[in-house]
Chains A and B, each alone.
With several copies, the nearest count.
Chain A
Amino acid sequence: MELSKHIDTPEAEEIDPREVKQQLLEKVPTKVARKRAKQIIVNDVREDLDVPQIGANARTIPGIITQRGCTYAGCKGVILGPTRDIVNITHGPIGCGFYSWLTRRNQTRPPGPEDANFMTYCFSTDMQEEHIVFGGEKKLRAAVQEAYDLFKPKAISIFSTCPVGLIGDDVHSVARDMKEQLGINVFAFSCEGYKGVSQSAGHHIANNGIFTHVVGLNENGKEGKFKINLLGEYNIGGDAFEIDRVLEACGITVVSTFSGNSSYDAFASAHTADLNTIMCHRSINYVAEMMEAKFGIPWIKINFIGAEASAKTLRKIANYFEDDELKQKVEEVIAREMPEVIKVRDEVRKRCEGKVAMLFVGGSRAHHYQELFREIGMQTVSAGYEFAHRDDYEGRKVLPTIKVDADSRNIEELEVHPDPERYRARKTPEQIAGLTEKGFRFKDYDGMMPDMAMNTLVVDDISQYESDRLIDIYKPAIFCAGIKEKFAVQKKGIPMKQLHSYDSGGPYAGFKGAVNFYREIDRMVNSQVWKYLKAPWQENPELAAKYACD
């Protein structure tokens, strides 16, 4: 893999990223340019994987066409969206509920046909003007009651949209009252869209809520010898199914997944796991921190995107448990899965080697998917996150140096103490020291930039204008982002892969997922259809009229 870490396509090499940066900034107003300059960084990996500081988790400038969504989207859409047995009621005008209805391709598989699955439903209080004027709490109570009467769910949750905060509806007291009244768990999220600077704030609010209201309520979690939680995996296109398949084959038990294909009871029993593994560092690392503080569960960063990464991840988990049988089982599984992966990878690599990719998406995928591209010989010349923070770019070592700005300050940080009864350190300090000695790393995330080639261009919260210019300059073989970017990119004749929804594809995690992704990228970058965009008379417009007309 090392080899492919620097770009060897001449075209790309001839491009000076510093110049590119200038070009991205020259047209925009000075104030904007000054701000954007901090978020557009030419990558430069020094020893100890030091990289330049990047501006991240900062406000998007008004009028700049951004990829970003809002806090509600991060809370209700991303984190709670995949929960199938909680009735998620949006408190607000109809739109927010409508737009977050089934649009994310989180897959879920209830145990049986009788079991709860509310993901196909959209629940809203559909606030009208009178509620804005006179308050919406009454309607919210009634809505919760109606939801209960109709569905008798295990739990009901409430999501605040922009106006709710402004008019001062106390959604939490409504939740408390209804919880008491109905005897089921009811909890609310103050995830108004205007909070924070991106979805990221919503993830935080959502995870705090789940941790506060659900985690720890169920002592009868899944049993197993090697029990882990899978954090930050949302089962887009079935990723979590593939990961479960692989872990199960290794004899590792997933007590709960946050929150792909999740269930309320699994959330509630998360504290019974012995290890927290983090897929998407951005959206959930703080939950792992809190679980360690409260229940004594250590956490590690893992990555199932990429076959090599998946293998590495399995070994890492096995090493954590320090169990030879498990280590051997893991090797068996890897040995069983890799041949097919290698077969397809090498075949596809023949056709993709040296092609150039760009990734601007999410809070971890812009990083993880570089791995998959690398496996088929494709270079990432430019990448960036939509809503990540500095530690996701530069690594956790910069955490102490991140200053909390006004926007972040408003997102509640929970203070967590060890649980008097249930705190149980899964590893003694000695064990931890021992493991660390062997090079095992806890709470490790070095970020995206150290993992990227020199002189690649890292752009945080990229704008439509910037991506448009980047494509003109680099002419990548493929561009990865979200639905809003897809067709503008493709209109330029560049295939565009969605890495939020995976378009219609997936799973891409694990071993089978890697194979799917290789094939998908092969289809996209090697399809003939892109050659036909110009008509013959546009290619050769000369007019050799064969026969003169009188």
Chain B
Amino acid sequence: MLLRHTPKEITERKALVINPAKTCQPIGAMYAALGIHSCLPHSHGSQGCCAYHRSTLTRHYKEPVMAATSSFTEGASVFGGQANLVQAIENIFTIYEPDVIAVHTTCLSETIGDDIPQIARKADADGKIPKGKYVIHVNTPSYVGTHVTGFANMTKAMVDYFAQTNGKRLDQINLIPGYVEPSDMEEIKRIADVMGVRTVLFPDTSGVLNRPQTGKYEMFPKGGVTVEALRTTGSSMATIALGPMASGAAARALDNKFDVPCEILDLPIGFKATDRFVDTLRKTAGINVPDSLNVERGKLLDIVTDMHQYFYGRKVALAGDPDHLIALTEFLVSIDMWPTHIVTGTLSKGFENRIREITEHVPHPVNVASPGDMFLLHQWIKNEPVDLLMGNTYLKYIARDEDIPLVRWGFPILDRIGHSYFPTVGYRGGMRLLEKILDAILDRQDRDSPEESFELVM
């Protein structure tokens, strides 16, 4: 067994986290910053943070992930990182020539209390910031929140630093996609396009973290939301934020600063949440839903009704982030699957209640933990086995030990491709999710069925 020391008996842990279902703020900030066009994320701390975040994002996306670091030494940790950051800013603009440097802090620089805006002003005063270039920042202490918080904070920073308004409203809607795949951001844009709604989507990692192989490497590829576009977000007629945890802060900032009204929705995973997204977009923009979207929706429901017997009553264990888990749980419940164990490493008030609401009619007890870890999830599974696991690659150890099929979903996915190219949001994304779920369930049936009931038609 790969996790041979995990006991079935569950004992309380107050101090020790084992096999976390989360990671730290800065990586989320780095991922979000990569969604700005021509932006180099910068990690203000010791080298390791940056190296770790780049490595993890690279393994997940199998794409170049560029970011710089202040390379703190012991000295810097004692006397502060100002010199390092100023020098970094000069070097970055000179050598890599991004339009934007997006600085995020670390537990190190937060503990010593570096004041980034002050340092940036210093750099500017010293002429280290070329005209028309920007240094933005966000505080992302690793000991507060999780990677989701970091994503939310950096996304809010885009508003804080760039959003403006001349009072005149533009015929466009801000879309904040949440901590999702580049493919998902692309799909969310496509849905809005199909509906004929002009949108500014930010952050936007599509075209950055799912780029083509062309034989030519570009430090800053075509993708990402431009500074120009971000500037206009203060003048948009509304904001639709997908995923309260990841997108809520930026949406509220736009409301507070520029009276841009916002709708904060769940991630559009599954037909119910996607319906709410599309309907909100429809009402907000005052347009009609084109038939092609109804067709996409109908195809998703066709899979649901055609294959219902394979979904019905299957128990599922889930690990992921709150925004994702809420939407996925609703989707699974809506097709009569039975989420049974649900864990996120991210503390989220309201999360458990929301899950309880959604699973109210699931005819068996549901375990929910926020925060919890995968060690606990594994123990729950040992006590109440499930038919399917859904979550990131680290679940594969549980999957193998307990011989349960795994549908890879969420972050990070280090051992399969596809997630960065094919969305799981929207109706099409729902179709992909159902295909993955069915493949997992039916492959298992094909493997385990006695010869006399090995099925040709399924």
Query: Is there an interface contact between A99 and B55, defined as CB atoms closer than 8 Å?
Result: yes
Q: Is B286 interfacial (CB-CB < 8 Å)?
A: yes
A532 touching B271 in the complex, CB below 8 Å, given contacts A69-B52, A547-B284: yes
Query: Is there an interface contact between B24 and A98, defined as CB atoms closer than 8 Å?
Result: yes
Q: Which of B96, B142, B278, B285 has the most CB of A within 10 A?
A: B142
Tell me, rounded to whole Å, the shortest Cβ–Cβ distance linking B42 to chain A.
8
User: How many positions in chain A have a CB within 8 Å of any CB in the partner chain?
Assistant: 124
Tell me, rounded to whole Å, the shortest Cβ–Cβ distance linking A67 to chain B.
8
B107: A residues at CB distance < 8 A: 92-93, 95, 127, 132, 161-163
- The A-contacting residues of B in range 46-94, CB under 8 angstroms, are 46-49, 51-56, 58-59, 62-77, 84-85, 87-92, 94
Minimal Cβ-Cβ distance residue in B for A501:
B457
Q: Mark B202-223, 1 if CB is under 8 A from A, else 0.
A: 0000000001011111110000
Minimal Cβ-Cβ distance residue in B for A89:
B16
Query: Is there an interface contact between B144 and A129, defined as CB atoms closer than 8 Å?
Result: yes
Which one of A194-202, A325-333, A348-356 contacts B?
A194-202
Which one of B155-163, B186-194, B300-308 contacts A?
B300-308
**Which of A71, A196, A487 meets B62, CB within 8 Å?**
A487
Q: Is A343 interfacial (CB-CB < 8 Å)?
A: no
B52: A residues at CB distance < 8 A: 69, 73, 95-96, 99-100
Which one of B247-255, B319-327, B381-389, B448-456 contacts A?
B448-456
**Which of A113, A410, A547 meets B4, CB within 8 Å?**
A113
Q: Is A456 interfacial (CB-CB < 8 Å)?
A: no
Minimal Cβ-Cβ distance residue in B for A146:
B16
A150 touching B48 in the complex, CB below 8 Å, given contacts A62-B84, A504-B458: no
CA–CA, A65 and B98, complex, Å: 13
**Which of B59, B90, B288, B308 meets A29, CB within 8 Å?**
B90
**Which of A89, A95, A537 meets B24, CB within 8 Å?**
A95
Query: Is there an interface contact between B18 and A69, defined as CB atoms closer than 8 Å?
Result: no
CA–CA, A167 and B111, complex, Å: 8
CA–CA, A271 and B275, complex, Å: 65
Minimal Cβ-Cβ distance residue in A for B455:
A504
Query: Is there an interface contact between A193 and B48, defined as CB atoms closer than 8 Å?
Result: yes
CA–CA, A114 and B287, complex, Å: 64
CA–CA, A527 and B69, complex, Å: 36
Query: Is there an interface contact between A505 and B309, defined as CB atoms closer than 8 Å?
Result: yes
**Which of B22, B91, B288, B394 meets A64, CB within 8 Å?**
B91
**Which of A73, A98, A535, A550 meets B289, CB within 8 Å?**
A535
Q: Is A1 interfacial (CB-CB < 8 Å)?
A: no
Q: Is A182 interfacial (CB-CB < 8 Å)?
A: no
Q: Is A124 interfacial (CB-CB < 8 Å)?
A: yes
Tell me, rounded to whole Å, the shortest Cβ–Cβ distance linking B45 to chain A.
7
Q: Is A453 interfacial (CB-CB < 8 Å)?
A: no
Q: Is A346 interfacial (CB-CB < 8 Å)?
A: no
Query: Is there an interface contact between A98 and B18, defined as CB atoms closer than 8 Å?
Result: no
Query: Is there an interface contact between A550 and B73, defined as CB atoms closer than 8 Å?
Result: no
Q: Is B11 interfacial (CB-CB < 8 Å)?
A: yes
Q: Is B417 interfacial (CB-CB < 8 Å)?
A: no
Q: Is A139 interfacial (CB-CB < 8 Å)?
A: yes
Query: Is there an interface contact between A120 and B3, defined as CB atoms closer than 8 Å?
Result: yes
Tell me, rounded to whole Å, the shortest Cβ–Cβ distance linking A487 to chain B.
5
Q: Is A103 interfacial (CB-CB < 8 Å)?
A: yes
CA–CA, A64 and B297, complex, Å: 33
**Which of A29, A193, A501, A544 meets B46, CB within 8 Å?**
A193
Q: Mark B1-40, 1 if CB is under 8 A from A, else 0.
A: 1111101000101111111101110110000000000000
Q: Is A28 interfacial (CB-CB < 8 Å)?
A: yes
Query: Is there an interface contact between B4 and A166, defined as CB atoms closer than 8 Å?
Result: no
A468: B residues at CB distance < 8 A: 217, 219
Query: Is there an interface contact between B213 and A238, defined as CB atoms closer than 8 Å?
Result: no
Query: Is there an interface contact between A69 and B47, defined as CB atoms closer than 8 Å?
Result: yes
A61: B residues at CB distance < 8 A: 71, 87, 91
Query: Is there an interface contact between B275 and A63, defined as CB atoms closer than 8 Å?
Result: no
Minimal Cβ-Cβ distance residue in B for A238:
B453
**Which of B168, B238, B313, B455 meets A546, CB within 8 Å?**
B238
Minimal Cβ-Cβ distance residue in A for B309:
A504
Query: Is there an interface contact between B69 and A66, defined as CB atoms closer than 8 Å?
Result: yes
Which one of A46-54, A247-255, A488-496 contacts B?
A488-496
Q: Mark A85-98, 1 if CB is under 8 A from B, else 0.
A: 00001001111111
CA–CA, A121 and B14, complex, Å: 18
Query: Is there an interface contact between B73 and A490, defined as CB atoms closer than 8 Å?
Result: no
B276: A residues at CB distance < 8 A: 536
User: How many positions in chain B have a CB within 8 Å of any CB in the partner chain?
Assistant: 126
Q: Is A220 interfacial (CB-CB < 8 Å)?
A: no
Q: Is A549 interfacial (CB-CB < 8 Å)?
A: yes
A162: B residues at CB distance < 8 A: 45-46, 72, 77, 106-108, 111
Query: Is there an interface contact between A107 and B452, defined as CB atoms closer than 8 Å?
Result: yes
A68: B residues at CB distance < 8 A: 47, 51, 71
A258: B residues at CB distance < 8 A: none
Q: Mark B243-273, 1 if CB is under 8 A from A, else 0.
A: 0000000000000000001000000000110
Q: Which of B68, B144, B275, B305 has the most CB of A within 10 A?
A: B305
Tell me, rounded to whole Å, the shortest Cβ–Cβ distance linking A524 to chain B.
8
B111: A residues at CB distance < 8 A: 132, 162-163, 166-167
Query: Is there an interface contact between A122 and B18, defined as CB atoms closer than 8 Å?
Result: yes
Tell me, rounded to whole Å, the shortest Cβ–Cβ distance linking A193 to chain B.
4
Query: Is there an interface contact between A63 and B309, defined as CB atoms closer than 8 Å?
Result: no
**Which of B18, B49, B91, B271 meets A193, CB within 8 Å?**
B49
Tell me, rounded to whole Å, the shortest Cβ–Cβ distance linking A312 to chain B.
28
Minimal Cβ-Cβ distance residue in B for A90:
B17
A245: B residues at CB distance < 8 A: none
Query: Is there an interface contact between A103 and B288, defined as CB atoms closer than 8 Å?
Result: no
Minimal Cβ-Cβ distance residue in A for B101:
A63
Query: Is there an interface contact between B47 and A102, defined as CB atoms closer than 8 Å?
Result: no
Query: Is there an interface contact between A529 and B452, defined as CB atoms closer than 8 Å?
Result: no
CA–CA, A118 and B76, complex, Å: 35
A65 touching B96 in the complex, CB below 8 Å, given contacts A59-B73, A163-B107, A468-B217: yes
Tell me, rounded to whole Å, the shortest Cβ–Cβ distance linking A199 to chain B.
8
Tell me, rounded to whole Å, the shortest Cβ–Cβ distance linking B241 to chain A.
15
Q: Mark A163-175, 1 if CB is under 8 A from B, else 0.
A: 1011100000000
B87: A residues at CB distance < 8 A: 31, 61-63
Minimal Cβ-Cβ distance residue in A for B144:
A129
Q: Is B237 interfacial (CB-CB < 8 Å)?
A: yes
Q: Is A335 interfacial (CB-CB < 8 Å)?
A: no
Tell me, rounded to whole Å, the shortest Cβ–Cβ distance linking A98 to chain B.
4
Query: Is there an interface contact between B452 and A132, defined as CB atoms closer than 8 Å?
Result: no
**Which of B11, B90, B282 meets A63, CB within 8 Å?**
B90
- The A-contacting residues of B in range 274-318, CB under 8 angstroms, are 275-276, 278-279, 282-289, 294, 297-298, 301, 304-306, 308-310, 312-313
Query: Is there an interface contact between A535 and B275, defined as CB atoms closer than 8 Å?
Result: yes
Query: Is there an interface contact between B309 and A407, defined as CB atoms closer than 8 Å?
Result: no
A69: B residues at CB distance < 8 A: 47-48, 51-52
CA–CA, A124 and B21, complex, Å: 12
24 A–B contacts from the bound complex (CB under 8 Å): A29-B90, A61-B71, A61-B87, A62-B91, A63-B42, A66-B69, A68-B47, A93-B24, A94-B23, A94-B24, A95-B107, A99-B55, A99-B56, A121-B19, A129-B144, A238-B452, A489-B217, A504-B458, A529-B335, A532-B301, A532-B304, A534-B214, A537-B288, A546-B284
Question: 9 other contacts beyond A59-B73, A95-B52, with CB at 8 A cut-off?
Answer: A29-B90, A66-B51, A68-B51, A92-B143, A121-B375, A163-B143, A196-B74, A406-B73, A464-B66
> B: which residues have CB within 8 A of A?
1-5, 7, 11, 13-20, 22-24, 26-27, 42, 45-49, 51-56, 58-59, 62-77, 84-85, 87-92, 94-96, 106-108, 111-112, 141-144, 146, 168-171, 211, 213-219, 237-238, 261, 271-272, 275-276, 278-279, 282-289, 294, 297-298, 301, 304-306, 308-310, 312-313, 334-336, 345, 375, 394, 397, 451-453, 455-458
7 interchain residue pairs of minimum CB distance: A70-B48, A545-B286, A95-B24, A63-B88, A63-B91, A142-B15, A93-B142
